[in-house]
Amino acid sequence: KMNNLQKDADRREGGLSSADMKEIISKLQRNYSFFSDLLEDEVTELLDMSKNVSFESDSIIFNEGDIADRFFLVLTGEIGITIGKKEVARVRRGQLFGEMALLEHIPRTATATALKKSALFSFPAEIISTVLPGLALKVVISIARQMSEKLRETNSHILIS
């Protein structure tokens, strides 16, 4: 209980009331599928573990070969994913990226670059190995859903070609 009280106090010091946080959490649950199956306390826990980061157009977020220590959710903007010089994907609002190398415990297999000014949530790898196994499971299921969507989209492009 004291930990949650401290978190609430910290938020108020930062200018966000409890009502403000509830509204933010509600918007995240409505607008981003990544948060839609999570309870309010679980979203709060994820937000406490994440960072809100911004990148200007043409900024590199990570390079092919980098150690994978986090994954990202696009809030605004667009991210280009390249292997060598070839663009292999574009990631937009509500989509995750950087999760594959993290799950496989391998170096990044692609470079991620902001194609326009972008705001992201940056989630540390520890989220999927958190001491809260129920939350970790929900995060991994959400990642798996988005990976399945990406695979389905890739398959449809292959069939069209």
- Which pTM does this prediction carry? 0.75
SS3 at position 79: strand
Q: pLDDT digits over 35-94, tens only? A: 888 889 888 888 888 899 999 999 999 999 999 999 998 999 999 999 999 999 999 998
Burial of 50 (0-12, 13-18, 19+ CB in 10 A): middle
Tokens 């590199």: give the residue. 60
Q: pLDDT digits over 1-42, tens only? A: 334 434 443 443 445 677 878 888 898 988 888 888 888 988
Residue 124 near residue 49, CB atoms below 8 Å: yes
Round to whole Å and give the CA distance between 21 and 155. Answer: 39
